[in-house]
Structure 1
């Protein structure tokens, strides 16, 4: 039997090559719904991008707040009223009206601005991260939808083979050339193939609906199967550094924020000064006198040293986390590169001569079985080989495109953030 299958594969290879050279593919009636179109639609309707944009605007408003100076205070004070004797009523009242102006020392304002700037830059990087994550999600959903359509085509072909096999088995049993068991076995294969086809159709509908929900618009027409079948030519993977990527930019932005928080904590150790100036009116004599004052807090219980120690420890923690992120990202990039190369090799092997030969072998086995030249077992082996090859090809394409999307997500370059004048 193995020799028969080997002969079928050899004949099928030659037939498939000749068929590929002489039979052009029919043109598509309408342009397919491409991945790029899906990405554009998702970018226009995704609520996650709106959340990220709102975060950037909030960080910009926080930067404005950080640059504001303390408000002055208007102070009014009345003394020597409501007493007894000379101080009964308001005849001896002393009314003081003044203005208190807080003055920040130690660079507190510039330290606050530095913290707000770093958080605003981090919000912009977070917005870029959300966009990259959305692109990866849409790509994987598109891959799932188009691979489901490919599996529908495979299941349809197997169902057609099973229906023809049942017809051929019925004809042979009627002619007395085969046992009724063959007809029953062919009927089981037909039923199972039709059930598998119905299941594949339902899964394709669900996958397409999920993609439509993600991008926020209905999908008209077929998906881009040609893009799905296309595999890039990858040789030995060139190592890719994680430096300059979006992931490392986020970790470095966290370190910058931690540095600014250390600077802010140190500035808080310098006491602020409040200047007071006003006028006092003496009701008894009608005279008015100027008043000047200066108040400085005395750091007796809280001198800010503990806050500085906390900020410095958190800065060391964030910097260590940055180094861990760099190491893990480079390891992940190397692993995904290997997965991408392996998937590309598997797809080229499964979708090349092997798939053409298996398809032609199944066709020849079907004809030979109908003519009584091959047994039903030979036919089942040929069809199972075709199904396995088709499934391996689709699985390899899914693995390839998923790895390609993950590698693209890992290597997204950091956005260029323009400096804002202080």
Structure 2
């Protein structure tokens, strides 16, 4: 790995936060990796170290740091040499009548302009740091979402294998009853077709899982993953606090503090614009030599622009309008954040409740129904369709359980991403 993609110091400081925020110490999302599987902890560490999108901020930070260093400098001092009255005609045909002036010149800044420039550059650096945190949370949020989808795919594969086993068992039972003359050959064909469909379903899910594995590996530029799947569970949930407590905790999130940084930036831009109304004084001091007499003389001068405050009025008004606009953007952003957080919170509660109902009530009942239906079918009291319906009801319920568990985990990850804290 090239040095440009090494894990930087800022990324190192983000690692502990990201590991906690995205549930690395909670069962719903990940566990310790096996030899052939990868954990979310490993995936996050690899992404922080090798994702090219994250390292663009190192370059931006370097550029802004250089600008800050430049803004701290005082106005430059210039040296000039001016020669007059040489290489002319008549009395000025020779260099004896030349007048040579050596001078130093600079600008005396008024209105605390340098301090305003430094403040603006420093604020831009802080805003970049906030943007880095938000972008990192966004990237890791996408990573976590794909990780949960990979766990879901693995759970769906397990259910598909269960369905395949049921189809094989059903075909065996139906063939046995057909030999006994208890059922028609038509049911054997139906059972064989159901088995073929179960095999196709399993194959499709396995291919989908492989695509998710490749998508996960792309977060850290890995093209040939040496791992087969992911480690994790979808079925353990944290009881969240009340929404009001959750929203209060969100006040420390980078998504919220960014608005304060935006306000500071616009305030610094306004302060800098206002300083431009203060007139700078250009000065010059030097020595002039008269070759004809061999005498020297000091020279000095100042230059003061007129009506600079009027010329700067439009820029100041523009900066003030941009500063006032931040407040409206903040109110809109906070309202949007509130809706997004509440949606994730509400959906998390809904799906977590559904998981409990499926686990504690629906699936146990359907397991019992399937067992009783199979016994009744083999005894000749139920039709083939009754048995197949019982099988499909159980498999559908298990798929619904996985869907709700994955949705709950995804919404939990969204909540933790938004508040930048674990639940």
Give the number of aligned pairs.
385
Pick from 198, 204, 229 the counterpart of residue 235 of structure 2. 229
1:270 aligns with 2:275: no
Greater alpha carbon shift after TM alignment, 103-112 vs 203-212: 203-212
- Preserved contact between residue 237 and residue 338 of structure 1 (Cα < 8 Å): no
Greater alpha carbon shift after TM alignment, 262-271 vs 372-381: 372-381
Structure 1 distance, partners of 2:67, 2:82, is 35
Structure 2 distance, partners of 1:405, 1:216, is 23
Match of 1:185 in 2: 190
Q: How does 1:334-345 map to 2 (within 5 A)?
A: 334-345=342-353
Structure 1 distance, partners of 2:237, 2:135, is 27
Structure 2 distance, partners of 1:301, 1:263, is 14
Match of 1:318 in 2: 326
> SS state of the match for residue 102, structure 1?
strand
> SS state of the match for residue 71, structure 1?
coil
Q: Compute the displacement of 1:376 (Å).
A: 0.7
Structure 2 distance, partners of 1:167, 1:136, is 47
Q: Which blocks of at least 5 consecutive residues in structure 1 are unaligned?
A: 1-27, 414-422
Greater alpha carbon shift after TM alignment, 366-375 vs 163-172: 366-375
Q: Compute the displacement of 1:82 (Å).
A: 3.1
Q: How does 1:130-145 map to 2 (within 5 A)?
A: 130-145=135-150
Distance 1:238 1:343, change over 3 A: farther
Q: Compute the displacement of 1:53 (Å).
A: 2.7
Pick from 238, 255, 259 the counterpart of residue 247 of structure 1. 255
Pick from 207, 211, 214 the counterpart of residue 216 of structure 2. 211
Match of 1:418 in 2: none
- Preserved contact between residue 81 and residue 92 of structure 1 (Cα < 8 Å): yes
- Preserved contact between residue 232 and residue 344 of structure 1 (Cα < 8 Å): no
Match of 2:305 in 1: 297
Q: Compute the displacement of 1:375 (Å).
A: 1.4
| TM-score, normalisation: structure 1 | 0.85
- Preserved contact between residue 103 and residue 284 of structure 2 (Cα < 8 Å): yes
Distance 1:60 1:265, change over 3 A: same
Q: Compute the displacement of 1:360 (Å).
A: 4.5
Structure 2 distance, partners of 1:355, 1:365, is 15
Provide, for residues 387-407 of structure 1, a one-character-per-residue CA deviation record: whole Å limited to 9, x for no partner: 210111111011101101111
Provide, for residues 147-184 of structure 1, a one-character-per-residue CA deviation record: whole Å limited to 9, x for no partner: 10111111111111112212222222232211122122
Pick from 347, 360, 374 the counterpart of residue 382 of structure 2. 374
Pick from 287, 296, 307 the counterpart of residue 295 of structure 2. 287
- Preserved contact between residue 369 and residue 379 of structure 1 (Cα < 8 Å): yes
Q: Compute the displacement of 1:234 (Å).
A: 4.8
Structure 2 distance, partners of 1:271, 1:182, is 97
Q: Which blocks of at least 5 consecutive residues in structure 2 are unaligned?
A: 1-32
> SS state of the match for residue 97, structure 2?
coil
Structure 1 distance, partners of 2:219, 2:384, is 46
Match of 2:159 in 1: 154
Q: Compute the displacement of 1:287 (Å).
A: 1.2
1:129 aligns with 2:134: yes
Match of 2:4 in 1: none
Distance 1:316 1:357, change over 3 A: same
Q: Compute the displacement of 1:364 (Å).
A: 4.6
Pick from 299, 303, 306 the counterpart of residue 314 of structure 2. 306
Pick from 214, 219, 227 the counterpart of residue 220 of structure 1. 227
Structure 1 distance, partners of 2:269, 2:282, is 25
Structure 2 distance, partners of 1:102, 1:38, is 55
Distance 1:319 1:301, change over 3 A: closer
Match of 2:17 in 1: none
Structure 2 distance, partners of 1:108, 1:287, is 40
> SS state of the match for residue 252, structure 2?
coil
- Preserved contact between residue 35 and residue 227 of structure 2 (Cα < 8 Å): no
Structure 2 distance, partners of 1:405, 1:246, is 16
Distance 1:236 1:351, change over 3 A: farther
> SS state of the match for residue 288, structure 1?
strand
> SS state of the match for residue 229, structure 1?
coil
Provide, for residues 68-111 of structure 1, a one-character-per-residue CA deviation record: whole Å limited to 9, x for no partner: 11211111111112322111232311111111021111111000
